[in-house]
Amino acid sequence: MHSACMVALRIRDVPDDVRDVLVEQARVKGQSLQAFLLDLFRMQARRSVNTTLLQQFSGRSDGS
């Protein structure tokens, strides 16, 4: 899931307590908040792709 074109996202109205938790999680992982959030977005995108793929096989009775 790599694209030559990147976009910038802005998230508004993030409560201070939520930001503080995310900043601390990034710090613990040795990452900037930017890098930490990009990792979260990538994980969520992969999960969405995996969920879609798994749904294609739901309800099958042939063992796959």
CB-based contacts of 39: which residues, under 8 Å, 6+ apart? 31
Rounded CA separation 34/42 (Å): 12
Place of tokens 């977005």: 41
pLDDT at res. 3 = 57
Per-residue pLDDT of the chain (64 residues; tens, 9 = 90+): 555 788 999 999 999 999 999 999 999 999 999 999 999 999 998 888 767 777 777 777 766 5
Rounded CA separation 1/49 (Å): 10
pLDDT at res. 2 = 58
pLDDT at res. 13 = 98
